Amino acid sequence: MTLISTFHFVHIMEQRLEYRIFTYSTYLKNKFGKRVFRVGLSTGIPCPHRTMTGGCIFCNAETFTGEYQAFGNSVRVQLDEAIPRIKDSCGDVALMAYFQDETSTAGSIDLLEKKFKQALSHPEIIGIIVSTRPDYISQAVIELLNSFNVPLTIEIGLQSIHNRSLEFLRRNHTFEEVDKAIELCGRAGLNVGVHLIIGIPGETFENMRQTIKYITSNQYIKQVKFHNLVVYRNTELAKLALDGNLDLLTIPNYIEILANLLPDLRGDVVVSRLFTSNIRHSQIALGEFPGNKTKWMNNLRKYIYKNGIIQGSETAVKYDAGKYFKSTSGIIS
User: Closer to ligand SF4 at the Cβ: 163 or 307?
Assistant: 163
Stretch that binds ligand SF4, among 27-35, 47-55, 204-212, 264-272 (CB under 6 A): 47-55
User: Closer to ligand SF4 at the Cβ: 14 or 62?
Assistant: 62
Alpha-carbon gap, residue 162 to 38, rounded angstroms: 30
Least distance to ligand SF4, CB of residue 17, Å: 27
**Do 22 and 311 contact (CB within 8 A), yes or no?**
yes
Residue 102 touching ligand SF4 (CB under 6 A): yes
Those residues with Cβ within 8 angstroms of residue 325's Cβ, 6 or more apart along the chain or in another chain: 18, 19, 26
Residue 300 touching ligand SF4 (CB under 6 A): no
Those residues with Cβ within 8 angstroms of residue 283's Cβ, 6 or more apart along the chain or in another chain: 60, 62, 63, 232, 233
Task: Please give the C-alpha separations between residue 47 and each of 29, 42, 59, 159, 167, in angstroms, as whole numbers.
Answer: 33, 11, 10, 17, 18
Residue 229 touching ligand SF4 (CB under 6 A): no
149 backbone φψ class: left, alpha, beta (φ>0; ψ -120 to 50)? left
User: Closer to ligand SF4 at the Cβ: 218 or 235?
Assistant: 235
User: Closer to ligand SF4 at the Cβ: 56 or 241?
Assistant: 56
Least distance to ligand SF4, CB of residue 260, Å: 26
Least distance to ligand SF4, CB of residue 51, Å: 9
- Per-residue x/- marks for ligand SF4, 54-93, CB under 6 A? -xx--x----------------------------------
In the three-class reduction of DSSP (H, G, I as helix; E, B as strand; rest coil), residue 157 is classed as strand
Looking from the CA of 226 toward its CB, the CA atoms found within 13 Å total: 24
Q: Of 16, 20, 115, 133, which one interacts with ligand SF4 (CB under 6 A)?
A: 133
Residues that bind ligand SF4 (CB under 6 A): 47, 49-50, 55-56, 59, 102-103, 133
